[in-house]
Structure 1
Amino acid sequence: MDITRKTPSARVRLPNGAEVLGLLAAFIGVMYLFLNVWALPIQLALFVSWFLVIGLGIRLGLGYESIQKGLLNGIHNGMEAVLVLITVGALIGTWIAGGIVPSIIYYGLSVMSPSIFLFAAFIICALTSLATGTSFGTAGTAGIAMMGIGHSFGIPMPLVAGAVISGAYVGDKLSPLSDTTVMTASLCRVDLIDHIKSMLYVSAPSALIASLLFLGVGYFYVDGAADTSRADAAMVALAEQFNIGWYLLLPTVAVIALLAMRKPSIPVISFGAVLGIVCAVLFQDMAALDAVNTAYFGNAMSSEVDFLNTLLNRGGIESMFGVIALVLFALGLGGLMDKIGVLTVICNGFLSWASNAGRLTLSTLLGGFFGNFFGGAAYVSLITASTITEKNYDKQGIDRRVLSRNAEAGGTVTTPMVPWSDGGVFMATTLGVGTLSYLPFLWFHFLVLIISLIYGYANIAIWRAGGHGSVPADESEQSLAPAKSAS
């Protein structure tokens, strides 16, 4: 029998509760084995998970052609994310070579003083992650420097780690260069800039309050006469390797301004990469061909400061291939789960309980946390946070910008809170502080979750979609009127 073509009498059904639980248990098992036991790439774990979903789809009566169409539809919906990641890789490589990122770090370090160290560490890591779009890269480079400087000041290491990780995740959550930011916007089918603007309602007050907390606590722990020689050494090394100048911050201003003006992300980021090449040629005395080459292979340099070598030897389109593969596998998995009806079943379960904006927000945050808890990675949590609740937002007429904001809060922000997640393992290993030790000091993360819940239950910044369900930003002007409770 040819199961790729179904006869009219063939029955295709939705999975029952036991089948959904079995699939989720198998998925969690695969993720745990691949990531924590065998230490294999998450890309392979997601690829193997495809076959779990395909197997259930066949059991439910779907043919291979129908299943493949669901997979391809999922990937097709996220192709913009792939193109953005390619341009982001080029941007990072050229911005480092052009002295743009080094200038940001230099001026950040220049504000360092013992009495405001924790505040400065938070701000420096936030600026670095906003400029590069990576929390891992920020923590593994500028974060390590902050840990060393904080140690010389006599500040408890868990507290320093809290400031570093909190700052690092500001950019991971908000930067248009962040792969998780791009992926969330893509999964939720929200314009990237609209997604970032929506997150600002929660992230801006969270970052402000967190920075004030770190500033206040710093005065109780830091000796005002402490040594700042490590920060001085990093600044000297940057000045030796690059021509530092305020004018090198202008490309950052230009790109952010264009994105804020709702210009398309891909050409704007590509334009930013070209500006990086121009800066490398004009201000860093780099040959034109070498400058262009950094767009693909990234920057290469050598200094006497190890953390600068790690921070500034990165970028390029080539560096994004692994992330691109991961995004494709994740999007394909989401498409498969939607096609066979798993997401519909879970969504219906949430719908009976999440009857108002507050509960809907809580269900999205829990979906993201469970993705990190059971799946062990931010990419998995973004899938669980967005896909299992998105239809409930549409049914309640709540704009998908609220969905994307909550998905990022529940997915990205909770990643370093789970000791066995990729974020938790990386932060603990890189910074030398256990997850449970730095957990109480992740003030930005806790504030994001708390403020998100307050907004949900108080109907603050809960917008109605333009008509029934979600309407993409490029197809219809969306209303910003607050949604009333659906209870």
Structure 2
Amino acid sequence: MTSPMGSSRLPTMTEVMAIMIGFIAIMFLSINVLQLPIQLALFASWFLVMALGLRLKVPYDSMQRGLIDGIHNGMEAVLVLTTVGALIGTWIAGGIVPSIIYYGLTVMNPQIFLFAAFMICALTSLSTGTSFGTAGTAGVAMMGIGHSFGIPLPLVAGAVISGAYVGDKMSPLSDTTVMTASLCKVNLVDHIRSMMWVSAPAILIASVLFIVVGFFYISDGVDTSRTAIAMEALQSHFTITPWLLLPAAVVIILLTRRYPAIPVITFGALLGSLCAWWVQGVDPVQSINIAYVGNAMQSDVEFLNTLLNRGGIESMLGVVALILFALGLGGLMKRVGILQAISNGFLRWANNPGRLTISTMLGGFFGNFFGGAAYVSLITASTITEKNYDDQGVDRRVLSRNAEAGGTITTPMVPWTDGGVFMATTLGVSTLSYLPFLWYHMLVIAISIFYGYANIAIWRVKPQSGTQQDSSAPGQVHAS
């Protein structure tokens, strides 16, 4: 068989498995044995895939084009990442984040804090459509409040990220939501309605879990005396005033009104610099420089040093390199034909709605694991299995819902994806530490698989064997 990627044939499943094993071996040896940066491991994996491409007689120029295309497709996330870095640094130096933490400590009940953090981040992400922006603003504040209550930071991060991805997955303002509907050729509103079947019970159950764990954990003797110490330390190092909440409100309102994220977040960083200068008394040139180098302070309270000495574009440069290497790897794998080979394997196996659901989720996870970004995972989740949905007469609303569950939702679960790296860097908790507490994510995956095998919300259309369904096909039925 000739590959559409320019090679004389598609790789066999044996060759695909060899690449997967080789990739895992490189990652393990580099990180755990040789203690090398993960960026080098991903860079080395490029040449592993290129070796397979040469074996399949794929021209090098074609592989390089695939690599560049993969990076190009994810550049928006890289740009957002750099602007969020600038925003975090200036918002801390300007006293915006410290003010949010301070006033949060005055009104927040420690026993319901985890539930509150989950809901605040969920509402923020639903109204803005960005998990990165939510984690970089409300999320950072929640981490400070949670730490002052003595709650373990991985647990707080789990609540923050769970809430942040409610909107990333469900909001009509989210780029991944719009992208998934477009890739699957489903009306955007119908796509969101389909996801509600899964997300609504997942949000409800996750909320109950965070409430129950909060009450049980606090009742076991969490030391809340840190709250007064934290508030005193914040007041001694920053000017705290309700007026400093306005820049956060302005940024959230602008994002809610669907203004582009990059200029809005950059404007927010500028407001942070102005606050650092006018309110906190920072030198005007230094207040601008903080956008690049991040905030630096010394206090007698260790958690403030850990939480508030961060941010700046410079802090994101290693993350940017990691994402570029991961995106390039995803583009290479597509060009060599690895994704097409996996798709052909799923076509033979996924012969019922339950298997269809699992195959789509595996396609999304595969895109995150090897492609390093939600954009890649949504492409792999939708393209690898879309023909099976058409052939079996399963409505593409089910495909789009499962693509989000396998693609968007699994992004922060993989340490080297753009979402995983961003969340770990921004919140100061490693991916493997917060992973067990991503309860919303796990519930979405579990409920989606259950629906598939139980035939719940699996809508049917006329099978289209051997053809590709398009957006105007008469068999497409939308939710009412």
Q: TM-score, normalised by structure 1?
A: 0.72
1:63 matches 2:65? no
Q: Please tell me whether the aligned partners of residues 255 and 261 of structure 2 are also in contact (alpha carbons under 8 angstroms).
A: yes
In the alignment, which residue of structure 2 is the partner of 1:338? Answer: 334
Question: Which residue among 164, 167, 170 is the counterpart of 2:162?
Answer: 170
Q: Please tell me whether the aligned partners of residues 334 and 383 of structure 1 are also in contact (alpha carbons under 8 angstroms).
A: no
Deviation at 1:108, TM superposition (A): 2.5
Describe the superposition over 1:208-259 as per-residue Cα deviations: whole angstroms up to 9, x where unpaired.
Answer: 5433333245445544997531111111111222222333222222222222
1:255 counterpart letter in structure 2: V
The structure-2 alpha-carbon separation of the partners of 1:172 and 1:223, relative to structure 1 and needing over 3 Å to count, comes to closer
Question: Which residue among 460, 465, 481 is the counterpart of 2:478?
Answer: 481
Deviation at 1:342, TM superposition (A): 0.3
Question: Which residue among 438, 456, 463 is the counterpart of 1:458?
Answer: 456
Percent identity of the aligned residues?
48
The structure-2 alpha-carbon separation of the partners of 1:114 and 1:54, relative to structure 1 and needing over 3 Å to count, comes to closer
Aligned counterparts of 2:84 and 2:247: Cα–Cα separation in 1: 14
1:409 matches 2:401? no
Q: Please tell me whether the aligned partners of residues 66 and 335 of structure 2 are also in contact (alpha carbons under 8 angstroms).
A: yes
The structure-2 alpha-carbon separation of the partners of 1:162 and 1:86, relative to structure 1 and needing over 3 Å to count, comes to closer
Describe the superposition over 1:412-464 as per-residue Cα deviations: whole angstroms up to 9, x where unpaired.
Answer: 24769xxxx999999xx979xx979x94x6533432323444676534899xx
Q: Please tell me whether the aligned partners of residues 125 and 142 of structure 1 are also in contact (alpha carbons under 8 angstroms).
A: no
Deviation at 1:350, TM superposition (A): 1.9
In the alignment, which residue of structure 2 is the partner of 1:133? Answer: 135
The structure-2 alpha-carbon separation of the partners of 1:366 and 1:264, relative to structure 1 and needing over 3 Å to count, comes to same
In the alignment, which residue of structure 1 is the partner of 2:444? Answer: 448
Q: 1:286 aligns to what SS in structure 2? A: coil
Q: Please tell me whether the aligned partners of residues 113 and 146 of structure 2 are also in contact (alpha carbons under 8 angstroms).
A: no
Q: Please tell me whether the aligned partners of residues 42 and 326 of structure 2 are also in contact (alpha carbons under 8 angstroms).
A: yes
Q: 1:36 aligns to what SS in structure 2? A: helix
Q: Please tell me whether the aligned partners of residues 141 and 308 of structure 1 are also in contact (alpha carbons under 8 angstroms).
A: no
2:22 counterpart letter in structure 1: A
Select between 117-126 and 13-22 the one with higher mean Cα deviation.
Answer: 117-126
Question: Which residue among 182, 207, 212 is the counterpart of 1:211?
Answer: 207
Q: 1:149 aligns to what SS in structure 2? A: coil
1:103 matches 2:99? yes
Q: TM-score, normalised by structure 2?
A: 0.73
Q: Equivalences for 1:12-161 in 2 at 5 Å?
A: 12-113=8-109, 115-116=111-112, 119=115, 133=135, 142=144, 145=147, 149-150=150-151
Select between 87-96 and 244-253 the one with higher mean Cα deviation.
Answer: 244-253
Q: 1:412 aligns to what SS in structure 2? A: helix
The structure-2 alpha-carbon separation of the partners of 1:242 and 1:331, relative to structure 1 and needing over 3 Å to count, comes to same
The structure-2 alpha-carbon separation of the partners of 1:480 and 1:251, relative to structure 1 and needing over 3 Å to count, comes to farther
Aligned counterparts of 1:470 and 1:142: Cα–Cα separation in 2: 48
In the alignment, which residue of structure 2 is the partner of 1:305? Answer: 301
The gaps in structure 1 that reach 5 residues or longer are: 1-9, 151-159, 463-467, 472-478
The structure-2 alpha-carbon separation of the partners of 1:69 and 1:449, relative to structure 1 and needing over 3 Å to count, comes to same
Aligned counterparts of 1:387 and 1:46: Cα–Cα separation in 2: 20
2:407 counterpart letter in structure 1: A
Deviation at 1:277, TM superposition (A): 1.8
Aligned counterparts of 2:25 and 2:252: Cα–Cα separation in 1: 41
The structure-2 alpha-carbon separation of the partners of 1:26 and 1:241, relative to structure 1 and needing over 3 Å to count, comes to same
1:228 matches 2:230? no
Q: Please tell me whether the aligned partners of residues 131 and 175 of structure 1 are also in contact (alpha carbons under 8 angstroms).
A: no
2:150 counterpart letter in structure 1: I
The structure-2 alpha-carbon separation of the partners of 1:68 and 1:213, relative to structure 1 and needing over 3 Å to count, comes to closer
Aligned counterparts of 2:239 and 2:146: Cα–Cα separation in 1: 24
2:412 counterpart letter in structure 1: T
Select between 340-349 and 236-245 the one with higher mean Cα deviation.
Answer: 236-245
Aligned counterparts of 1:55 and 1:99: Cα–Cα separation in 2: 52
The structure-2 alpha-carbon separation of the partners of 1:281 and 1:470, relative to structure 1 and needing over 3 Å to count, comes to farther
Aligned counterparts of 1:80 and 1:423: Cα–Cα separation in 2: 14
Question: Which residue among 364, 382, 395 is the counterpart of 1:390?
Answer: 382
Aligned counterparts of 1:183 and 1:327: Cα–Cα separation in 2: 18
The structure-2 alpha-carbon separation of the partners of 1:245 and 1:335, relative to structure 1 and needing over 3 Å to count, comes to same
Q: Equivalences for 1:424-439 in 2 at 5 Å?
A: 439=436
Aligned counterparts of 2:176 and 2:27: Cα–Cα separation in 1: 20
Select between 398-407 and 256-265 the one with higher mean Cα deviation.
Answer: 398-407
How many equivalent pairs are there? 432
The structure-2 alpha-carbon separation of the partners of 1:294 and 1:451, relative to structure 1 and needing over 3 Å to count, comes to farther
Q: 1:409 aligns to what SS in structure 2? A: coil
Q: Please tell me whether the aligned partners of residues 327 and 373 of structure 2 are also in contact (alpha carbons under 8 angstroms).
A: no
The structure-2 alpha-carbon separation of the partners of 1:270 and 1:36, relative to structure 1 and needing over 3 Å to count, comes to same
The structure-2 alpha-carbon separation of the partners of 1:327 and 1:404, relative to structure 1 and needing over 3 Å to count, comes to farther
The structure-2 alpha-carbon separation of the partners of 1:89 and 1:423, relative to structure 1 and needing over 3 Å to count, comes to closer
Aligned counterparts of 1:315 and 1:71: Cα–Cα separation in 2: 30
Deviation at 1:50, TM superposition (A): 0.3
Deviation at 1:207, TM superposition (A): 4.6
1:481 counterpart letter in structure 2: H
Q: 1:244 aligns to what SS in structure 2? A: coil
Q: 2:11 aligns to what SS in structure 1? A: coil
